[in-house]
Amino acid sequence: MGDSMSGDNPSDQNELIGLRNKIDQIDSEIQNLITARAECAQEVAKVKMASIGQASAVFYRPEREAQVLANVMKRNVGPMSNEDMARLFREIMSACLAIEEPVKVAFLGPEGTFTQHAALKHFGAWANTIPMPAIDEVFREVEAGAAHYGVVPVENSTEGVVNHTLDTFLTSKIHICGEVELRIHHHLMVGKNTRKDSITRIYSHQQSLAQCRKWLDAYMPQAERIAVSSNAEAARRVNSEWNSAAIAGEMAADMYDLEIVNEKIEDNPDNSTRFLIVGSNPVGRSGEDKTSIIVSMHNEPGALYTLLKPFNVHGIDMTRLETRPSPSGNWNYVFFIDFMGHLDDENVQNALEDIKLKAAEIKVLGSYPKAVL
């Protein structure tokens, strides 16, 4: 039937015509405002380049962006959800920023992975995303100035921390500039040549296979499970075989033109992954911030208590604590700690001063806006 009004009575037709005219008028006003915003972004770029030069100008400000999106959600009165409204503004901001300077973002590749999804969720569709083969390569790309920012996974709600990311921070000079929380949905997908009743092997990343174990046990117990380097690689392989399927995300299905035959087969419906945004410059206050540090403690009784006490004394909410082996080999404890607050906050400064009195070493990875979307 489409949008035909042939079956409408005259009064309904008049009402629909009036509403459509109103929508056209609103669309025109929205377009004019977006154009005005883009022109304003151009003026911001001119001011920055005139004052400090193009080479030194920083166009993307994580704290400013987080404030804008938080304000969008506060102003929202429906019927759209806060998240949907913020996502619309996220894309408007991404397009406007691209006029100033397209943001180059390195991510743990290949293309079609959840890490790329996280990068686009955070920076918007106008970001130039660059796949890298390993986590330390993402860090090096940013350190060398070939990318403005990098995106790496750090924590999964079911599989735990990504140790390679934590270990890379031990030697890197890079700052944490933001975080992204992404709900992870795994789908079973096949290619155009796949015989759906003859699937004997399933490709996916090792973690994804683990996160879908119960579903696979119940519905595809005879199929061989083959771990590959990424879910995107799993999707790529399926197109050249007739007897295989892949477990991957929706982006990988779109990229390799696969058919999703079973949706959301993950065992835990709340499965999510946290990603970190890394960059070369420290980030100012947004008003709702986190700070990440690495602390090495001497191997002595009460070391953990000594480390945690200042957080309690100064009223700081610690959100994560992880332990890794010390690279120095002297059996010191190395703790990765996330907590609420910014380095510029007085209570944070006081707590860090107390920790320094007892710690063998402390390294601040950065303060950054708490994930808005």
Output the average pLDDT for the chain: 90
User: Rounded CA gap, 160 and 121, in Å?
Assistant: 22
- Quick one: 118 and 86 in the same domain? no
Domain that holds residue 140: 102-184+272-278
Lowest mean pLDDT among 29-38, 62-71, 217-226, 293-302: 293-302
Same domain, 199 and 165: no
149-156 and 104-108 strand pairing: parallel
- Measured between alpha carbons, how far is 19 from 8 in angstroms, rounded to an integer? 15
- Greater confidence (248 vs 325) lies with 248
Q: Verify that 67 and 107 share a domain, yes or no.
A: no
| Res. 369: pLDDT tops 70 | yes
**Residues 363 and 300 reside in one and the same domain:** yes
The answer to whether residues 80 and 31 belong to one domain is: yes
Higher-pLDDT residue of 28 and 3 is 28
**Residue 342 is assigned to a structural domain of this protein:** yes
Q: What is the largest CA-CA distance in the chain?
A: 85
Answer yes or no: is 288 within a domain: yes
How many domains does the chain fold into?
A: 4
Give the global pTM: 0.86
Q: Quick one: pLDDT at residue 324?
A: 82
What's the pLDDT at 200? 95
The answer to whether residue 1 scores a pLDDT higher than 60 is: no
The confidence score (pLDDT) of residue 54 equals 56
Convert the pLDDT of each residue in 181-235 to its tens digit: 999 899 999 999 999 999 999 999 998 999 999 999 999 999 999 999 889 999 9
Residue 45 shares a structural domain with residue 111: no
Has residue 292 been placed in a domain?
yes
pLDDT in tens, 119-150: 999 999 999 999 999 999 999 999 999 999 99
The pLDDT tens digits for 332-355 are: 778 999 999 999 999 999 999 999
| Mean pLDDT, rounded, for 98-117 | 90
Q: Given a cut of 70, is residue 328 above it in pLDDT?
A: no
Mean pLDDT calculated for residue range 33-37:
95
- Report if residue 6 sits inside a domain: no
Q: Minimum mean pLDDT among 79-83, 182-186, 300-304: which range?
A: 300-304
> Which pLDDT score is estimated for 265?
96
> Is 161 within a domain?
yes
- The CATH number covering residue 331 comes to 3.30.70.260
Q: Can you tell me which residue has the tokens 């990229």?
A: 255
- Determine, yes or no, domain membership for 112: yes
Of 97-106, 186-195, 265-274, the range with the highest mean pLDDT is: 186-195
Phi, psi (deg, nearest 5) at residue 129: -95, 135
- Which CATH number belongs to the domain containing residue 112 in this structure? 3.40.190.10
Indicate whether 4 belongs to any domain: no
pLDDT at site 3: 52
pLDDT beyond 50 at 9: yes
In a domain, 9, yes or no: no
